[in-house]
Structure 1
């Protein structure tokens, strides 16, 4: 049932030309060089350190690695991270 719903949402998004991040509950990531990253539509912080940030997403995790991390803004679904960003990895948990 979950797969059918996802397929229907994808089809509706394409047919109605609606933004996929809104319709499908996807994260929106805006990165400015290696200095700032702004993430919208996350589900919470799982781990934070000076060199790593792991966020929970609807379908998986977002892992950001680097150095000198500082969370400048944190809201229920938005986060602004500053520091030297070396890697941004999406870890998919939809193995069902």
Structure 2
């Protein structure tokens, strides 16, 4: 499995294709501590005003904060808004 992953990474570099597309990785973008955009997710596990847990291909993303809301909900991306305090990626 690791050999296949390395081969895909090499192919992505050679073809100048982003690795997140080839390896089915999430793309996580933060704007300060006010917004967090998660692309290429597999769904929402938990949502409260203080915690958002998002299922990823490998593991989950856990966001802790205050006044957290889900903005732009689409099949491929989630926008978490509020005051983000901690972002943790659990594999």
- TM superposition score normalised by structure 1: 0.87
- In 2, the alpha carbon distance for the partners of 1:74 and 1:29 equals 15
Q: Give every structure 1 segment of 4 or more consecutive aligned residues whose post-TM-superposition deviation is greater than 4 Å.
A: none
Alignment of 1:59-74 (within 5 A): 59-74=58-73
Give the alignment's Cα RMSD to 1 decimal: 1.1
- Note the residue ranges of structure 2 that are not aligned, 5 or more in a row: none
- Note the residue ranges of structure 1 that are not aligned, 5 or more in a row: none
Report the CA distance between 1:8 and its aligned residue: 1.8
Alignment of 1:1-96 (within 5 A): 2-92=1-91
